[in-house]
A = this chain, B = another copy of it.
Amino acid sequence: MQLENLIKNAYQESADGIRKGDLIKEVVGIREYILNSKKIIVPNWNKAKLDVINQVLKEFGLRKAKHLEFHTSSCDLTRMPAINKAIMALDIAPCDLVIARGRLGVPGSGSMLVIIDNKGRLLSAAISPPHIIHGKTIKDAVYYEMTLALERLGFTRK
C-alpha cells in the first residue's frame, strides 16, 4: 500500500480518537518504500560519512547512496540541523530517499541521523549523544546510527 493511503488511514484513526499506535502494515509500508528507493542521496560537504552509510546499506541489502556535495553548514544555524539538511537536499536534487546526519537540536544537543522520503516525510531516525560525551569516532557513531535507524524498522543484516 502506498504511504499516502497508510498515512491517511492513520490520520483518520487519530481524528476519530481511536488510534492505538503503529500498525505492522505501516512499518512494512515504510520498509517497502526504503527497499524500492532507487535514488538515495546523502548530503554532505565531504564524503567522510558516505562510505560508512554505504557499508551499512550494503550489509542490509539496500541500494547504494550517492553523495550530494553541497554547503551544509548553513543548516547548523537552524533549530533542527539534521532534519533541515535532509530537507535542503530534497529541495535541490531529484531523489527517492535522503539520509542526512547532523546536529539534533541546539548546539550541545548531540547528533541525529534521519531518513526522509521524496515528500520530506520522516521515515526513521537514530540519535547519538554529543561526541564529547560518548567519545566514539565519527565513523563508529554514523555506523551505529545508520544500523539503528534500519533495525528499529525491522530490517535485518543479510
Contacts and interface: CB of A to CB of B under 8 A. Distances in A.
Interface of A: 2-8, 10-12, 14-15, 17, 19, 21-30, 70-71, 73-80, 83-84, 87-88, 90-94, 103-110, 112, 118-134, 151-154
B109 A123 contact: yes
A90 to B, nearest CB: 6
B131 A154 contact: no
A26 B104 CA distance: 13
Q: Which 4 A-B pairs have the closest CB atoms?
A: A105-B122, A26-B108, A10-B107, A129-B152
A127 B127 contact: yes
Contacts of A134: 152
A71 B14 CA distance: 10
Given A7-B91, A22-B132, A78-B78, 8 more contacts: A3-B106, A8-B70, A11-B107, A14-B76, A15-B73, A119-B120, A127-B152, A133-B153
A24 B107 CA distance: 10
Contact of A106 (B15, B87, B109, B123): B123
Contacts of A30: 106, 108-109
Given A22-B103, A129-B152, A91 B79 contact: yes
Contact of A11 (B7, B12, B70, B122): B70
Contacts of A12: 71
Contact of A88 (B29, B78, B122, B127): B78
